[in-house]
Amino acid sequence: MTVLKGRTALITDADKTIGRAIAEALAASGANVLIQGTDPASAKAAAAEISTRHRVFGQGLGANLADAGSIASAVAAAERPVDILVHTSCPQHLAPVEEFPDAAFEHILNVGLTSYFRLAKAVLPGMRARGWGRLLVMSSVQGLVASVDKSAYVAAKHGLVGFSKALALETAGSGVTANAFCPGWTGTEGTRAQAATIGAKLGISADQALQQMLVEKQPSKQFIKVEALGALVVFLCSPAGDPITGVALPVDGGWVAQ
């Protein structure tokens, strides 16, 4: 499938898990890929693997998303203009508000929310000039509802939904669209790490905590597959996605339907 042939996508955190799956799906659809990762070597390796497998251009961009200068340098180093931006990165920390470290709160908002503002600001002028673009951000079901002990994450993810809607209004009619997608529990190491933390707090195993998380929140009782998120991004970047802008799309096995 070459529906995105000639387009170039910049995907954050694309040297692992969800970002990697999205990069693979975009490359399989013909898009060139710019792979951001905190570790330059990891980003370059992922870009080389993806570009070879799918026969597209690939470039690894090492960047610290908590640092404005690092983001600017990475965008400037991109060897192709960015047509598609997909932001997936957001750290996690669990603690009650009164015990939440200030530094952790600021870091989560900086990487999860502010970095997307900086990236969108950098690539949007080129998208406008070319009359086409996709601004896509992975918020979360917790960008639509809240959970305990996740104040910073919930704040960042809600902020991404609001910022995406503002982008949609500012770009309406320009050929550029802006959307958020909001996964529920996914089958990633990040979810397992959360389960381990929750399990330790409740005195149960990580596997028991995982099952409890699904039963309590996700009616499908199945983890969201990262491949499904990749397919969704491709759909939103395809011609079928042209009229879709300003939405926050739940991908959550029925979580917010309750």
**Mind telling me the catalytic residues?**
153
Q: Which of 211, 192, 115 is nearest to 156 (CA)?
A: 115
Dist. CA 79–CA 8, nearest whole Å: 10
